[in-house]
Amino acid sequence: MPIFRWEQSWNPLRDLEREVDRLIQGVEFSVQGIRMPRQYPAVNIFELDHEFLITAELPGMQVEDLDLTIANSVLTLKGHRNPPVIDDGEIPEERFRRQERPFGEWQRSISIPDRISEEHLSAEFNEGVLKIHLPKLEEELPRQIPVSSGE
């Protein structure tokens, strides 16, 4: 009686699949909410009494690799996320079993309300979440404009 699998000789791909499954034998998907493809990074914008708040999920970023600029009421977020490395070099493609995380350069520009204090803008980065605080400008009181007669 043969003790090897008879199909081994004609379907090497199936064997490869089995080899993968042998180490990671299936992945269970426990999903209630599915994250659809979207701009990177996705942002949420909130308004509070004294400020606007922008949040963005940027897992794996380093603070020093984040670049935030503001000009003409446009806030620009820029950065680069490095892929995992091994022995200071890139991991060869054939070593990957799954590759789902995005890497590389990214940039996102967001129009912000005019009435913010650009000098007092601040940002914090914790646990892969960026928060940008945009303090509102003090409400200006109506200013009387003197009208001179043309005589």
Q: How many residues bind another protein (CB under 8 A)?
A: 49
The answer to whether residues 21 and 13 touch, using CB atoms and an 8 Å cutoff, is no
Q: Degrees (nearest 5) of the Cα angle 89, 106, 31?
A: 90
Candidates 4-12, 72-80, 121-129, 136-144; binding stretch for another protein (CB under 8 A): 121-129
Strand order in the sheet with 104-111: 66-71, 74-81, 104-111
Distance (Å, rounded) from C-alpha 58 to C-alpha 78? 11
Considering only CA atoms, which of 116, 108, 119, 120 is closest in space to residue 55?
108
Q: What is the largest CA-CA distance in the chain?
A: 118
Q: Is 66 in contact with 125 (CB distance < 8 Å)?
A: yes
Between 11 and 46, CB nearer to another protein:
46
The C-alpha atoms of residue 56 and residue 147 are separated, in whole angstroms, by 48
The residue (of 127 and 140) whose beta carbon lies closer to another protein is 127
Distance of closest approach, residue 145 Cβ to another protein, in angstroms: 32
Binding mask 41-80 for another protein (x = CB under 8 A): -xxxxxxxx--xx-x-xxxxxx------------------
Binders in 6-35 for another protein, by CB under 8 A: 22-35
Smallest distance, Å, CB 46 to another protein? 4
| Closer of 23 and 147 to another protein (Cβ) | 23
Q: What is the binding site for another protein (CB under 8 A)?
A: 22-35, 38-39, 42-49, 52-53, 55, 57-62, 84, 86, 91, 95-102, 125, 127-129, 131
